[in-house]
Chain A
Amino acid sequence: DTAVSQTPKYLVTQMGNDKSIKCEQNLGHDTMYWYKQDSKKFLKIMFSYNNKELIINETVPNRFSPKSPDKAHLNLHINSLELGDSAVYFCASSLWTGGAGNTIYFGEGSWLTVV
């Protein structure tokens, strides 16, 4: 049983295209996240949703739009893809939004390559 699953695992697409990455968690968690890991391996938070409500929105271009149809799903849609969007995108979830012991569980990542 995969706790946090995301699809696709690998995605190669051309500049200017629109693509989506889907994420699902079966842990019963209320909070979900998107993180981005760039070519230098820095891992940064992009968005966080708590029970379908956006609670963290870091400085991310408007081309990135998260959508949470229910608290078990958080999808990431990217418009007009650019070369600089090439990265590994990690979905994650946690039981709640903060406080001690708020363990965050990460998915296996989606490797996006824009050519």
Chain B
Amino acid sequence: DAKTTQPPSMDCAEGRAANLPCNHSTISGNEYVYWYRQIHSQGPQYIIHGLKNNETNEMASLIITEDRKSSTLILPHATLRDTAVYYCIVPPGEGGGNKLTFGTGTQLKVEL
């Protein structure tokens, strides 16, 4: 598995953009980057995934560097409900989305 490194915690003011970084310097050319989050006492929730190009959906944007060694998840207007642990995951193999290995993630705290 491509190992990922994330900061253990981050704070963000409500209404501001939350930018969550992830390093995955050993990622292979055909491996995707996935982001999930886990709100306290709930099951993990899929956010977004990408390979090379930047991606955007209704929840977030994913910016992947040109060398693919790092990425940033952007929550454009964070709300209190976005307080959660955010996981950056690079499953093995092409696509590889079926065997997720969760690390320690980043605890994002959104405050007033």
Q: For chain A, which range describes its interface: under 10, 10 to 19, 20 to 34, or 35 or more residues?
A: 20 to 34
Instruction: Tell me whether A103 and B43 are in contact in the complex, defined as CB-CB below 8 angstroms, given that A43-B102, A44-B102 are known contacts.
Output: no
Does B95 have its Cβ within 8 Å of any Cβ on chain A?
A: yes
* Residue of B with least CB distance to A109: B43
Which 4 pairs of residues, A with B, have the shortest CB-CB distance?
Answer: A106-B43, A102-B97, A99-B95, A43-B102
- In the bound complex, do residue B100 and residue A90 qualify as a contact, i.e. CB atoms below 8 Å apart? no
Cβ 8 A contact of B95, one of A45, A56, A102: A102
- In the bound complex, do residue A31 and residue B95 qualify as a contact, i.e. CB atoms below 8 Å apart? no
- In the bound complex, do residue B102 and residue A42 qualify as a contact, i.e. CB atoms below 8 Å apart? yes
Does B21 have its Cβ within 8 Å of any Cβ on chain A?
A: no
- In the bound complex, do residue B101 and residue A44 qualify as a contact, i.e. CB atoms below 8 Å apart? yes
- In the bound complex, do residue A45 and residue B99 qualify as a contact, i.e. CB atoms below 8 Å apart? yes
Question: Which residues of chain B (73-112) have a CB below 8 Å from chain A?
Answer: 85, 93-104
Q: Mark A89-115, 1 if CB is under 8 A from B, else 0.
A: 010101011111111111111000000
Instruction: Tell me whether A101 and B97 are in contact in the complex, defined as CB-CB below 8 angstroms, given that A43-B44, A107-B43 are known contacts.
Output: yes
